Amino acid sequence: MNSIAPGRSGPQPFEILRREDYSDVTYMLEVHHPMMARAAKPGQFVIVMSHANGERIPLTIADFNREKGTITLVIQAVGKSTMEMQQTLTAGSMLHGLAGPMGIPTHLSDARKVICVGGGLGVAPVYPQARAMKQKGAYVIGVLGFRNKDLVFWEDKFRAICDELLICTDDGSAGIKGMVTDGIKQAIEKHKDIEEVIAIGPPVMMKASANATRVAKIKTMVSLNPIMVDGTGMCGGCRVKVGEKVKFACVDGPDFDGHEVDFDDLMVRLRRYKEEERVATERWSETCRMSEPGLGELSKINEMAFPNRN
Amino acid sequence: MKKRTVRTIPQTRTPVQELDPTIRARNFEEVNCGYSESEALRESERCLFCPDPKCIEGCPVSINIPQFIQKIGEKNFRGAYDTITATNLLPAVCGRVCPQENQCEGVCTVGENLEPVAIGRLERFVGDLAIKNHWVNKPYIHPSLFKIGIIGSGPSGMACAADMAKAGCDVTVFEAFHQPGGVLRYGIPDFRLPNTVVDAEVEKLKDLGVKFECNTLAGRLFTIEQMIEELGFHAVFIGTGAGYPSMLNIPGDSLNGVLSANELLTRCNLMKAREFPKVDTPLPLGRHVVVVGAGNTAMDALRVSKRLGAETVTCVYRRSKTECPARAEEVHHAEQEGIEFHWLTNPIEVLDDGNGNVRAIRCIRMDLGEPDDSGRRRPVPIQGSEFELETDEVVYAIGTNANPIIGQTSKLTLNKRGYIETDSNLMTSIAGVFAGGDIVTGAATVIEAMGAGRKAARGMKAYLGIRDIGPIPTDGSLFGIALSEHNFTRVRIAE
């Protein structure tokens, strides 16, 4: 508990201890933060700033290790910030900012049989929830969706904690051919006593999952990741419509009843900065092309991005 | 010195240099240039040094205003600084952002016949001089071995931190953002309060030994209870503010292009989005911006939008200009900069362009009826007066609510609106845990929050058994003990 070291002030570096690449676009960072590892609970997220001029981006805590004092983030390179992080962050580099754990932890229900659904990047954040349900003694069915077999990750991690595991791929190159909703339907047909579904992934997937369980009236919890700035309930950028009410995902969520969430509204709001994202990404790839970074260049970028490293 | 009277002093207020409205509306330079030495000297001649100075009573932290003005007159600027900092830690900030017209200047005796003494501008003059010359009033601090945790680095947290550091405590301030300052950093824009001034004030606290821990979300990273029980804090102050923005709850609230003033200001001030794409945080520019509300935050949002390059910037407010809560100076500056005002106008719907973006806002004209609970005349809609204002960005600056995080993560007693309940010494329902500022009172001003931080510090010192030199303003008893000074002797923890 002594990680609040005396004398530190201003922006504090958070060291990356390990990095692993799961595919061309998906990578994992294990970040040193003993206090957060101790506080984190399934369902929570962090705000990361990779450098002083960076954005504050929300990322779900995919795993935490209290003994090692680390938290794990699984990131998909989809925009400028995440692509830049993919290129510049390695073991030993520091994040400029890392705040959290944010959001209300997942309320672990007493359900005896659950389906934990992860789609694409949502596979990572659903893992701690599946593990926690398993530890509570529930029968856990994992349903993981990927585009194809090259993008599959954490299969063995899930096998270790799931009583049943269904992998779904769009092209059938691994597991069953189809979407996670096909996996959910299969599981519901086989087990008539499923009490809860936890679904995390892209909004369109969570919407489909919620629809798939609506008729059977199975409680379905989803974890939302809208656009945020502060993550502490201050900007209202992450507001979502749940039932008739407006909720802030950062402090009122991120978990909500999937049958109540207005996903169409969420998807429209996620498009808000599409144009700016395009400008930033283009501008960034332009600079990258101009310098065609070899290893030397990379460390130079690193230096520019992390002036506080030393 | 010859006795001054209203007849003998300079009759008009010394004007302050301001940037030309047409030029400043396109940049983020500070509007008010501040007094020069000669201007400050002239203005100091306007103080009557009343035997019963009302201005001190009007000041939430009771600065000895006639004394510091007298010292300015004697060209003893350092002395003036010492006088102010005896009660106010941040003169450069308060001289800029205090609503002086409702406080010290509002009750100034000169103001009964002429324009009141420009106390705020004089205070700022002294504050800026202190920053320029690196004046620090570093008292002799006898270490008391008490460890104090402060949650939130805004005005109340900074004020409490300073007082506890001066009492010899080991003070750590926790801030969730990556930079300290709270609303001074993310909320108030550079043209009113430059970030360099905030930096300077933070540095002053560091000189007193205060530590700042950014990126630290207290409540979630560790709870209030853990701070006391596990992290070894002997007392905690909560100054998390009222930052949860209200939405209008009208149709179209969630359209793209509708945002809270907090979001606009945070992106612009803290995240420097105006430099996008040089920095990564975007802030799409509206060409026709409508800001709903007419408080100081609304004025900031209006003037920021103008500076970001919007073609038209319009304020929509349901009451009239007389009732508007913003400082008169802010409204005046906004008008100078070409902001349009629609007084007595209430928005009823934000309209969609068909793609989920804002196309226009539908409003209705209002009329003033009978006074309501606030004493202001209640606005009532005029039937059939609906009209549309074309806009692509609607900013809500209609107030904020309590930040919920501490309430969610601790057993503290809250009132029904989510604000923290305290006793008259600002101690909460948990012994040793104090709270002050907006998280107790609801949204208020910087100086009021600072006053609360200082009051909490006094309560905290009494709780810890640190003898306080100043008077303890309470209802006469403290934690059930009668207030005679002998009851409080300094308690030391064994080394």
Q: What is the pLDDT of residues A15-31, one digit of tens each?
A: 888 999 988 888 999 99
Of A10, A14, A229, nearest to B271 by CB-CB distance is: A229
* Chain A residues within 8 A of B230 when measuring between CB atoms: 1
Same domain, A157 and A74: no
Closest CA in chain A for residue B241:
A234
Same domain, B215 and B270: no
Q: Answer whether residue A133 is part of any domain.
A: yes
Same domain, B60 and B112: yes
The structural domain count of chain B equals: 3
Q: Determine the pLDDT at residue A255.
A: 93
**Which CATH number is B257's domain given?**
3.50.50.60
**A282-291, B144-153, B334-343, B463-472: which has the minimum mean pLDDT?**
B463-472
Q: Are A272 and B220 in contact (CB < 8 Å)?
A: no
Same domain, A157 and A257: yes
Q: Is B250 on the interface with A (CB under 8 A)?
A: no
Same domain, A88 and A152: no
Residue B484 has pLDDT above 80, yes or no: no
Q: Are A12 and B213 in contact (CB < 8 Å)?
A: yes
Q: Answer whether residue B419 is part of any domain.
A: no
**Which CATH number is B67's domain given?**
1.10.1060.10
Q: What is the ipTM of this complex?
A: 0.83
Same domain, B331 and B360: yes
Q: Determine the pLDDT at residue B450.
A: 86
Q: Is A85 on the interface with B (CB under 8 A)?
A: no
Domain endpoint, select from A102, A123, A152? A102
Of A4, A232, A277, nearest to B176 by CB-CB distance is: A232
Residue B452 has pLDDT above 80, yes or no: yes
Q: Determine the pLDDT at residue B481.
A: 45
Q: Determine the pLDDT at residue A6.
A: 40
**Pairwise CA distance, residues B135 & B113, whole Å:** 36
Same domain, A119 and A255: yes
Q: Determine the pLDDT at residue A290.
A: 61
Q: Is A230 on the interface with B (CB under 8 A)?
A: yes
Same domain, B231 and B255: no
Q: Answer whether residue B476 is part of any domain.
A: no
Q: Answer whether residue A77 is part of any domain.
A: yes
pLDDT tens per residue, range B185-232: 999 998 888 888 889 889 888 988 899 999 999 999 999 999 999 999
Same domain, B34 and B101: yes
Domain endpoint, select from B101, B133, B165? B133
Q: Taken in order A259, A263, A265, A270, is the CA torsion positive or negative?
A: positive
pLDDT above 70 covers a percentage of chain B that reads 93
What's the mean pLDDT when you consider all of chain B? 87
Same domain, B59 and B151: no
Domain endpoint, select from A75, A102, A129? A102
The number of C-beta contacts closer than 8 angstroms across A and B is 151
Q: Is A277 on the interface with B (CB under 8 A)?
A: yes
Between B99 and B304, the higher pLDDT residue: B304
Q: A 87-126 residues with CB below 8 A of B?
A: 96-102, 104
Q: Are A235 and B245 in contact (CB < 8 Å)?
A: yes
Q: Answer whether residue A149 is part of any domain.
A: yes
pLDDT tens per residue, range A289-304: 665 444 444 444 444 4
Contact by Cβ (8 Å): B408, B304: no
Between A292 and B27, the higher pLDDT residue: B27
Q: Determine the pLDDT at residue B277.
A: 81
Residue A13 has pLDDT above 70, yes or no: no
Same domain, A259 and A207: yes
Substitution target from A80, A229, A244, A255 for chain B, most B beta carbons within 10 A: A229
Whole domain around residue A26: which residue ranges? 15-102
Q: Is B260 on the interface with A (CB under 8 A)?
A: yes
Of A44, A100, A236, nearest to B262 by CB-CB distance is: A236
Whole domain around residue B207: which residue ranges? 147-242+428-449
pLDDT (mean) for B10-17:
90
Residue A112 has pLDDT above 50, yes or no: yes
To the nearest 10°, report the CA torsion of B298, B301, B303, B305. Answer: -140
Same domain, B163 and B206: yes
Q: Determine the pLDDT at residue B139.
A: 66
The structural domain count of chain A equals: 2
Q: Are A230 and B266 in contact (CB < 8 Å)?
A: yes
Q: Determine the pLDDT at residue B396.
A: 94
Residue B173 has pLDDT above 80, yes or no: yes
Residue A92 has pLDDT above 90, yes or no: no
Q: Answer whether residue B56 is part of any domain.
A: yes
**Which CATH number is A43's domain given?**
2.40.30.10
Q: Answer whether residue A208 is part of any domain.
A: yes
Residue B359 has pLDDT above 90, yes or no: yes
Q: How far is A100 from chain B (nearest CA, A)?
A: 6
Q: Is A1 on the interface with B (CB under 8 A)?
A: yes
Q: Are B213 and A9 in contact (CB < 8 Å)?
A: yes
* Chain B residues within 8 A of A10 when measuring between CB atoms: 179, 212, 214
Same domain, B25 and B88: yes
Return the DSSP state at B116: P
Q: Determine the pLDDT at residue B469.
A: 54
* Chain A residues within 8 A of B279 when measuring between CB atoms: 53-54
Q: Are A102 and B217 in contact (CB < 8 Å)?
A: yes
Which range among B53-57, B165-169, B170-174 has the greatest average pLDDT?
Answer: B170-174
Same domain, A61 and A117: no
pLDDT tens per residue, range A198-217: 999 989 999 999 998 988 88
Of A36, A234, A271, nearest to B244 by CB-CB distance is: A234
pLDDT (mean) for A157-169:
91
Same domain, B237 and B251: no
Between B136 and B428, the higher pLDDT residue: B428
Q: Are B277 and A53 in contact (CB < 8 Å)?
A: no
**Pairwise CA distance, residues B273 & B308, whole Å:** 10
What residue has token string 């009132």?
A: B415
Q: Are B260 and A236 in contact (CB < 8 Å)?
A: yes
Residue A169 has pLDDT above 70, yes or no: yes
Of A39, A97, A234, nearest to B266 by CB-CB distance is: A234
Q: How far is B37 from chain A (nearest CA, A)?
A: 34
Same domain, A262 and A142: yes
Q: Determine the pLDDT at residue B468.
A: 62
Q: Are B178 and A7 in contact (CB < 8 Å)?
A: no
Q: Answer whether residue A2 is part of any domain.
A: no
Contact by Cβ (8 Å): A240, A246: yes
What residue has token string 């992106």?
A: B267
pLDDT bracket for residue B488 (50, 70, 90): very low
Record the pTM. Answer: 0.84
Q: Answer whether residue A306 is part of any domain.
A: no
* Chain A residues within 8 A of B247 when measuring between CB atoms: 236, 239, 246
Same domain, B262 and B396: yes
pLDDT bracket for residue B435 (50, 70, 90): very high
Residue A306 has pLDDT above 70, yes or no: no
pLDDT bracket for residue B434 (50, 70, 90): very high
Same domain, B274 and B374: yes
Q: Determine the pLDDT at residue A31.
A: 93
Same domain, A175 and A78: no
